[in-house]
Structure 1
Amino acid sequence: MKRAIPWQAVVFLLPALLIYSVFSAFPLLDTLRLGLFATDETGAQHFAGLANFKLLLLDPQWSDGFWNAMWNNLKFFGIHMLVQNPIGLLLATLLSVRGLKWARTYRTLIFLPTLLSVVIVGFIWQLILSPLWGVGERLMDWVGLAEHFQPWLGEESSALITLSLISVWQFIGVPMMLIYAALLAVPEEVIDAAVVEGASSWRIFWEIKLPLIYPTLGLVTILTFVGNFNAFDLIYSVKGALAGPNYSTDILGSYFYRTFFGYQSQIGSPTMGAAVATMMFLVILCGVAIYFYAVQRKLQRYAL
């Protein structure tokens, strides 16, 4: 016999449902709808089906910028996966060691940049890395590495990597704290039994702790994916809407901004901007679907 949902639950859930619908669900649906329309010379909109997406993917006028932004976004995500998450795992493992002095202080200092505004972080690193007035070259000179200093934010080959590492520095506290909480949840009796059996610290980590935190590592991966493909603020605050030099730091978020709102000589197009936003949504949706239907399912089988 099915139980009816109590009216108290409806009363408490209704405000959250209304807020989510007004500020998230309805705008998303309207964006998907707008991507199916086109704007003529008079500014009137008419239904165009998939014409905007065909232009975005195949017309060089639009597709060159889109695929460049997509490739840069993949590199942005790859650097976070290869640098941020492994270092976050290492820091969490070190901070979970029994008897570590000043562990709370270390956690606070590492997590502190996450609380800062991205605009402030971008401005600070611009000051540090500026070849004209920055302190980066002087700091490298103190350790004998001044000859290796370069205007990393001003070169096409290094600007995106530099911005990615700045983002890693700011947000590394998030995966660290998630993994740290998972490590603390590992049963102590399992660890003690392994120690009694003579297992080394490395073996305990690789064969006991790491398999038990696989679900958390999967969660960190999907959060990194979603966050990176929604990224915009750091690129905009440091390199502006043009994502220079020569669009070398352009990602989907900045490309969407220029397409929708326009910038300098580029005229904004809400319908094409909605098409870009729809493609971003589909990319994120596909990534999340792959995680849930492949990785998460495998983790569940492993747990069983």
Structure 2
Amino acid sequence: MAGERADRRPTRWHIAVFLAPAVLIYTAVMIIPLFGTLQLSLFSTVDNRQIFVGLKNFATLFGDERWADSFWNALWNNTWFFIVHMVVQNPIGVLLAALLSHPRLRFSAFYRTAIFVPTILSFVIVGFTWKLILSPLWGVAPELLDMIGLKHLFTPWLGKEDYALTTLGLISVWQFVGIPMMLIYAALLSIPEEILEAAECDGITGFSQFWKIQLPLILPAIGIISILTFVGNFNAFDLIYSAQGALAGPNYATDILGTFLYRTFFGFQLQIGDPNMGATIASIMFFIILAGVCLYLFAIQTRLRRYQF
């Protein structure tokens, strides 16, 4: 009996004590509002009373012309906003990380800091600043293009339906390219020197070394960056709102799920707020993000593990 008692592991109560504050805060801030939103999406207001309607709000959002056109427009814009980041931001981040990790590059710390600084700026500052820069009336963009003989290329990009969303996507890329750069930079530094030295002994140097040796080893980090980009872009709201307002002009060309949710839930100008339909849109956003995260965790991450060292 004494031996059995000695073999028993002591209860580690301190783990629960240390985790309890974080769990309570996360539950109060995230879990309870999430379930409250999901619950609210299943009700509708009739005569100032909440009536359970099941999935009727979702059917209205997908099928009713008054809602469906705006929803599918916002969803497509959100998807395009994400594509711009994936195609432009992340490859540039990888390229910058590869350049800044070169041992012979001077002032690399200064370059890293300069590229990362925009990520700590407020969305409001970034939105209004770029709106002023690109303004055809008092912006500096026409003059800057004129200095290099390209003024004929200038157009009010934020005022045209065909260019506004892509322009805002590129502004967001400018602001946040420092995040994938730093994550990839850290992943490159974590590669053991023995692997790189072995590659050099085999005659693999320069770009070939990065393409054949380093890139496969940092694929897990690229996967993490991709899913963070997905979650961040389908939660986007601030930049569009600060630059284009709640109506996400021109003519809803920059309307994404976040701004659509804002107008629906709180109301704007002549549109009356509908918390139930707003909660329905928020629930759809949650399910989209959940599906993307699950796809990454169960289908993509398992294949990337073989590249880890």
**TM-score, normalized by length of structure 2?**
0.96
Kindly report which structure 2 residues correspond to 1:191-206, keeping only aligned pairs within 5 A, or say none. Answer: 191-206=196-211
Structure-2 separation of matches of 1:2 and 1:289: 38
Tell me the residue number matched to 2:105.
Answer: 100
Corresponding residue for residue 273 of structure 2:
268
2:69 is the counterpart of 1:64: yes
Deviation at 1:206, TM superposition (A): 1.1
Separation of aligned partners in 1, 2:60 and 2:203: 64
What do residues 107-154 of structure 1 show as CA deviations (whole Å, max 9, x unaligned)? 000000001001000111011000000000000000000111100000
Q: Could you list the structure 1 runs, at least 4 aligned residues long, displaced by more than 3 angstroms after superposition.
A: 1-5, 301-304
Q: 1:11 aligns with which of 14, 17, 23?
A: 17
* 1:39 pairs with 2:45: yes
**1:229, CA displacement in angstroms?**
0.1
The 8 Å contact of residues 264 and 278 in structure 2, kept in 1 or not, is answered as yes
User: Residues 200 and 301 (structure 1 numbering): CA distance in 2 closer, same or farther, change over 3 Å?
Assistant: closer
2:158 to 153, 160, 169: 153
Mean Cα displacement is larger for which, 289-298 or 272-281?
289-298
Secondary structure of residue in 2 paired with 1:76: helix
In the aligned structure 2, how far is the partner of 1:172 from the partner of 1:43?
47
1: CA distance between counterparts of 2:114 and 2:284?
37
Matched, 1:246 2:251: yes
Q: In the alignment, does 2:236 pair up with 1:231?
A: yes
2:3 maps to what in 1?
none
C-alpha separation between the residues in 1 aligned to 2:142 and 2:247?
Answer: 27
Give, in whole Å, the separation in 1 of the partners of 2:8 and 2:32.
31
Figure out how many residues of one structure are paired with residues of the other and give that number: 303
CA spacing shift, 1:151–1:288, aligned 2, 3 Å: same
Query: Match for 1:184 among 173, 189, 197?
Result: 189
- Per-residue CA deviation, residues 198-250 of structure 1 (Å, 9 max, x unaligned), is 11312211111001001000000000000000000000000000000000000
Counterpart residue type for residue 197 of structure 2: D
Cα contact 2:246–2:268 (8 A) shared by 1: yes
Which of the pair has more CA radius of gyration?
2
CA deviation profile, 1:3-45 (whole Å, cap 9, x unmatched) = 56512111111111110010110000100110000111x2211
Contact 2:78–2:234 (Cα < 8 Å) also in 1: yes
Q: What do residues 48-104 of structure 1 show as CA deviations (whole Å, max 9, x unaligned)?
A: 000000000111111110000000000000000000000000000000001210000
Structural mapping, 1:283-302, within 5 Å: 283-302=288-307
What is the identity, as a one-letter code, of the residue corresponding to 1:204?
Q
In 2 relative to 1, CA 60–5 (structure 1 residues): closer, same or farther, beyond 3 Å? farther
Residue 61 to residue 2, structure 1, CA distance change in 2 (3 Å) = farther
Tell me the SS of whatever aligns to 1:156.
Answer: coil
Identity of aligned residues (%): 59
- Partners of 2:41 and 2:283 within 8 A in 1: yes
Shift of 1:157: 0.3
Q: What is aligned with 1:214?
A: 219
Q: Does 2:20 match 1:20?
A: no
Distance 2:173 2:8 in 1: 49
SS of 1:45's equivalent? strand
How far is 1:303 from its partner? 4.2
Aligned Cα root-mean-square deviation (Å): 1.2
Matches of 2:276 and 2:54, distance apart in 1: 11
In structure 1, the gaps of 5 or more residues are none
The TM-score with structure 1 as length reference comes to 0.97
| Distance change in 2, residues 1:29/1:104 (3 Å) | same
**Counterpart amino acid of residue 170 in structure 2:** L
The within-5 A match list for 1:101-120 is 101-120=106-125
1:120 and 1:46 mapped to 2: Cα distance? 42
**1:88 to 2:86 alignment:** no
The answer to whether 1:279 aligns with 2:280 is no
